[in-house]
Structure 1
Amino acid sequence: MEEYKLHTRQRKLLYLLNCRHGIANGKELSAKLGVSERTLRNDIAAVNEAMEAYGLQIKAVPGKGYYLQMEDRKVLHELFSGKENIQTKEDRIRYLIMKLVQSEEGCDLRDLEDDMFISRTTLENDIKEIRLRITENKPYLNMHRKGNFVSLDNDEIKKRNILIRLYCENWDYDSRDGIVLKDDVINQEILNQIRTEMKEILKKHEIELDDFGLIYLILAIAVSYSRMLEDYRLDASDRICTERSVCEAVRELMDRLQILWELEIGEPEYGWIAAILEQLVLLNFNTYTKEEAASRTDLRCSQLVEQLSGEMKERYHLDFSQDDRLYAAMLIHVQALMNSMISVQMQSRYLMEELKMQHPFLGDVSHYLCRRLEQLCDLKLDQEEENYLLPMLITAQGKLLENLRGKGIKTVVVSHLNASLTYYLMDRIQKMYAGKVELEGPFPIYDRDNIDKVHPALIITTVQMDVFRQFDTPVITVSPLIDEKDQKKIEQHIQKAESEYLYPKLPNAQEAYFRKDLILQIERKADLTEVLSIMEENLRGNMYVSDEVQLDLKRCYYALLKNDTLFLYVIGDKAQKTIASVAECRYTVVWKQMRNIRKIMLMVINEEERCYLGSFYQMAMDL
């Protein structure tokens, strides 16, 4: 394997571009890497120089950004695999888990120090993190320590589940040669053998799997093969397959591979793979009704989903009780979690960061659900779980919005233009915002009475009507061409109207939550911890927060908004008045490698006003 001379940030740059599937602009990339655009350009030049001989280059598109061009994706895979590429804490932990799982006697910490070129302190901290992930949480695989030796319990099924997850986390879905964590056993030849036989048999038995299911099953069989070669065999399977067609398909598949590999496969291996396939079939792109999903999952799943649905309604004022699709999807997902089958796609993280900025309130909800599922399912869940839940919530909220607004937001078109241009304008609006607006009109400028009779939520006009007509309803003046500026204005008003459908109206005007003495100007460079400390001191100093209210800002949920505002909140007691503090920073503040934070908004919310959280998020986005 080649040793590519790239440092951690340059490798992350390649990772981000690979995940982007297109052009990423320089500002976006520099923000995610936590560097200036000048440093980004220097990194790109260094990467191109180092990787030119291997056919991997970062190409620039003037005025748009950068994209990744490569002749062979194997080069990219090698950049993120192998011992020489242990660059970050996650790299080290992954490497250590692989070593511990694959060693029956355990590992000598002194050898690991030399092998990984890290200090004993760093190694001990990594061991603590591994203990937290796999011992104190599912799969609850005990870790043993004797002097310098560390080992894991010889629970074969738990070890296999850990290996499958590690391989899945590092699969490249953009290539046929998808595996990144290669070793001497699980290599491309073995994977191709499994894939070829498996696709034929699944087709024969009319069993369908999505991409994740196919990859998961391939890797499960590959892990089974590698463990059997090392003479680590199953005594029994932890689950029993009840679907006859699945059992028959696995029997035929493993019989073929047994002959191909010249390796005797024991009966527990058949049962283990069959149980996995049965669960993967359940997780496939099937649309189940609420009743079908309930019949295919454990009763405990229904109880948990009912509980979480109630908590979302009480805590976030989100009533998804009539959404059978969400209910069924959550049932299937909880069942998968309880069986330790979690869909992990590292490359989706880039997309999910953008979705969270577009839907910060639902990002908060998905974070809460993730923490609750950890508690209820005895699991250690990470960012991937939040990323899985967020699109489900966005879809459910979209359906809820459709039900609430009916045909769309009632919008009146007022035009001084001739009929031809006016109907062209209306047709453009209808096509661009189909389902979001219900158009009424057109009306001439002078027809105030008929406009009022419609009771519109929005007026779109071709003239500056506010000069001679006053309306309580928002009025937007546009060109018949609907340029980008017009689109932005219309979209902002539509989003505001939609938020009024979705979230309860605030008990007070927005101005009531802000005080002049809580609007701070930070003129010097300061990190986030320092800015938050200044804000807390100001809140307490001005007696807006009592000593009884604990501002534990380390445990808050932080949301970065599209307007470069970082929003966070603390829930106070019933006596606490809901108040907002805003820090406007002259110099950008860095938070988790985000460099473009210009404002920080901290809210202390009365516990009885938590139900208005969606509206408070909207208020922060309007800053």
Structure 2
Amino acid sequence: MKKRHIKLLQLLNREEEYISGKMLAEILGVSVRTVRNDIRDLNESYLTEAIIESNNRFGYKICGEIRILKNLNEMDPDIRTFFIIKLLKQNNNWLTYQEIADCLWFSPQTISTDIQKIAEMIKEKHYPLTLHTETFRGVMLSGHEWAKRQLMASLAIRSFASMEECKQILFFLFEQELDQNCMEELICSMTCFLQENEAAFNLYTWPALMIHVCIQLISPPVEHYEWLLDKNDPSLMLAETIVNALSMKRVPANKASEIYYLASQIKGLKILPCSKVQQTNIDELEHLTQQTLQMVGERYGYELLQDEQLIIGIYMHLLDTLQVLHHSLPIYNPYLNQIKSDYIQAYQMSIFFAEIMGKKMNIFIPEEEIGYITLHIEAAIERIDTLSIHVGLLQTESSIISTLMRQKIEKNFKQIHIEDIYEWKDTSSIPASISFLLSTQPVLIPGKKVLVVNPILQQKDISKIKQTITPNVIQEHMEPAKFIYLNEKTKQGFLKAMTEEFNLEPFFEGIMDRENLSSTEIGNKIAIPHPLFSAHVPASSIYIGVNARELDWGNSNVKVVFLIILSEKDELRYEYIYREIYQIMKYRDMMDRLMKVKTYEDFIQLL
């Protein structure tokens, strides 16, 4: 079952009334036709005791109860890989591809492909594991037990459409080790523990914790853990309660480490409030946070160290997440895709922060955590508001007209700050910081641009103001020689071809390093690749690449690429570029046209 199918079922299951296909399409980021096809697929292939009814006028709703789903035992690649890792963990020795294939009823060729996938996951997620492969001997997995558990869990954890579906998957994954009575008792106990501790759990976090607990029950002891948590930490107290209950089924060899391991999982899932952390080995964290924020501010043109709320916010956030990052444990962030598309500038700043901070502390900061850091930086940007446009109003009508104009402008343009309302006969008090003036009558003021609008702002006036405040950075930096239409099969192949075409080969490695940190796709089939650091070039450049087919960019597919090379010698900032891209992304008709662009002329006409 696709992740989109799960999300669709969750949306429909949440509402008792009909939901229109258009609304579902907008939430899922797909076409209405795709929604229609998904619903047909769900009805025909998965739902048994429920059906999704369609109504041409009102849309769709679920009739019946989502309980047992068909085709769950048809292993998807992630579940198959889960069982391979479970076999490797249990044997702790060499297994041939044929032996694994015989256990799972798949061909050795399929198992070989899955083994390659496991090797890539280990490298990508920085797990302290080694996947040994030798001709005739087969494959063996070695390394830290907690990392083996983490790898295994990452393949099973996902969002579920209902609690019944989740239980069905749990029975399927662990039926060889835990019988149905044991599993039902465990499910009941875990639900009670979470409710008693007022944990915020849902159809992702509850199954995730259950999967970790089940893996804990069937695994050898975890290695010794260094304690960083305060003894009164809520995550630690909940973990201790769970491990004590599990001890009735299997007495852990290293109980304290098992408690800490589970507490770290609970922290990563963020189902309990933040707490204090002991000061062991983190005395320099505040200093490192300030130092790194200063570097971020200098690169992007913000005085971040003046924002005490930002410093304290990120410091406290990292303090609470430190042990999770230290052991490369998963972090749950259900808002990541929305954060990446809505807060483009702050997300790129957070990527830079994570790269510098990670090197200083010798930890890997995953993109889920970067998403949370983004929220802190976005709030700081809004407080600093250095990109607000200062505008003045000339009072040529009654004061009430000027007041209404002010209210309407500030409502329609969040980036505009009305400095004041000035008398048109006396303009000496107008400050130099004013970008332009709005007037209902033509007025000539030396050195100032005056935009004439209707006293009762009309749509054409709104459009006129919008054109005035839009910097058109992309169009100003574009020329026919900076546009290319390609037909590549992979992300790397596309970026390679693009850099070669524009003589940007020296930047290719830096661009790929940035991609390896976190995918640069921002939703709506758009990506904004760029080197992690500013370039030693005379001026900034923007290059546009469109591919004939959609490319797998990591989290989703991409068709249009804005390749940005930012010079450290000029004042062009990413924010202006992101603002323009975001404006394009807001309008579906513009996005539809953008996906069909094949020439430079088509692209410029779209802008």
How does the TM-score come out when normalised to structure 1? 0.67
Supply the AA of the counterpart residue of 1:336.
V
1:238 aligns with 2:225: yes
Partner of residue 384, structure 2? 403
Give 1:190 deviation, angstroms. Answer: 1.0
Q: Which has the higher contact order (CA 8 A, sep 6+)?
A: 1
Partner of residue 268, structure 1? 254
Supply the AA of the counterpart residue of 1:590.
E
- Residues 281 and 388 (structure 1), Cα distance of their counterparts in 2 relative to 1, 3 Å cut: closer
Q: Deviations over 1:378-435 (max 9, x none)?
A: 6777xxx3133134324323324313559x764445678777676556556667778x
Greater shift, 388-397 or 130-139, is seen at 130-139
Are the counterparts in 2 of residues 476 and 489 from structure 1 also a CA contact under 8 Å? no
Are the counterparts in 1 of residues 345 and 575 from structure 2 also a CA contact under 8 Å? yes
In 2, Cα distance between the equivalents of 1:101 and 1:620?
A: 47
Partner of residue 541, structure 2? 579
Give 1:325 deviation, angstroms. Answer: 0.8
- Residues 618 and 138 (structure 1), Cα distance of their counterparts in 2 relative to 1, 3 Å cut: closer
SS at match of 1:265: coil
Are the counterparts in 2 of residues 160 and 223 from structure 1 also a CA contact under 8 Å? yes
CA RMSD of aligned residues (A): 5.4
Are the counterparts in 2 of residues 413 and 459 from structure 1 also a CA contact under 8 Å? yes
Matches for 1:193-342 after TM superposition, within 5 Å: 193-197=189-193, 199-200=195-196, 202=197, 220-227=212-219, 232-233=220-221, 237-240=224-227, 243-245=230-232, 254-255=243-244, 258=247, 261=248, 263=249, 265-266=251-252, 268-274=254-260, 276-277=262-263, 280=266, 286=273, 295=279, 298-299=282-283, 301=285, 305=289, 308-321=292-305, 322=308, 323=310, 324-342=312-330
Are the counterparts in 1 of residues 436 and 451 from structure 2 also a CA contact under 8 Å? yes
Partner of residue 129, structure 1? 117
- Residues 304 and 429 (structure 1), Cα distance of their counterparts in 2 relative to 1, 3 Å cut: same
Are the counterparts in 1 of residues 391 and 436 from structure 2 also a CA contact under 8 Å? yes
Are the counterparts in 2 of residues 51 and 57 from structure 1 also a CA contact under 8 Å? no
Supply the AA of the counterpart residue of 2:251.
I
Gaps of 5+ in 2: 584-606
Matches for 1:79-478 after TM superposition, within 5 Å: 82=73, 84-86=74-76, 88=77, 90-104=78-92, 107-113=95-101, 120-134=108-122, 138-145=126-133, 147-153=136-142, 156-166=145-155, 169-172=157-160, 175=163, 178=166, 180-182=169-171, 183-184=174-175, 185=178, 187-197=183-193, 199-200=195-196, 202=197, 220-227=212-219, 232-233=220-221, 237-240=224-227, 243-245=230-232, 254-255=243-244, 258=247, 261=248, 263=249, 265-266=251-252, 268-274=254-260, 276-277=262-263, 280=266, 286=273, 295=279, 298-299=282-283, 301=285, 305=289, 308-321=292-305, 322=308, 323=310, 324-345=312-333, 348=334, 351-369=335-353, 385-404=366-385, 410-413=390-393, 423=403, 426-427=406-407, 438-439=417-418, 449=427, 452=430, 456-457=434-435, 472=448, 475=451, 477=453
In 2, Cα distance between the equivalents of 1:619 and 1:129?
A: 38
In 2, Cα distance between the equivalents of 1:394 and 1:478?
A: 38
In 2, Cα distance between the equivalents of 1:454 and 1:399?
A: 26
Partner of residue 563, structure 2? 602
Candidates 566, 588, 591, aligned match of 2:551: 591
Q: How many residues were matched structurally? A: 555
Supply the AA of the counterpart residue of 1:187.
M
Are the counterparts in 1 of residues 392 and 436 from structure 2 also a CA contact under 8 Å? yes
Are the counterparts in 2 of residues 578 and 606 from structure 1 also a CA contact under 8 Å? yes
Gaps of 5+ in 1: 1-7, 498-505
Are the counterparts in 2 of residues 58 and 68 from structure 1 also a CA contact under 8 Å? yes
In 2, Cα distance between the equivalents of 1:285 and 1:394?
A: 19
In 1, Cα distance between the equivalents of 2:261 and 2:330?
A: 15
Give 1:130 deviation, angstroms. Answer: 1.9
Are the counterparts in 1 of residues 292 and 353 from structure 2 also a CA contact under 8 Å? yes
Candidates 15, 20, 32, aligned match of 2:6: 15
Supply the AA of the counterpart residue of 1:150.
V
Are the counterparts in 2 of residues 194 and 257 from structure 1 also a CA contact under 8 Å? no
Supply the AA of the counterpart residue of 1:45.
R
- Residues 519 and 539 (structure 1), Cα distance of their counterparts in 2 relative to 1, 3 Å cut: closer
Candidates 506, 529, 533, aligned match of 1:568: 529
Are the counterparts in 1 of residues 221 and 253 from structure 2 also a CA contact under 8 Å? no
How does the TM-score come out when normalised to structure 2? 0.68
SS at match of 1:100: helix
Give 1:129 deviation, angstroms. Answer: 3.5
Are the counterparts in 2 of residues 198 and 253 from structure 1 also a CA contact under 8 Å? no
Are the counterparts in 2 of residues 239 and 272 from structure 1 also a CA contact under 8 Å? no
Q: Deviations over 1:430-457 (max 9, x none)?
A: 67778x665466678x557388469644
Are the counterparts in 1 of residues 86 and 152 from structure 2 also a CA contact under 8 Å? yes
Are the counterparts in 1 of residues 350 and 377 from structure 2 also a CA contact under 8 Å? no
In 1, Cα distance between the equivalents of 2:23 and 2:205?
A: 36
Q: Deviations over 1:36-76 (max 9, x none)?
A: 7656644543433445643142757869xx76747444446
Partner of residue 518, structure 1? 481
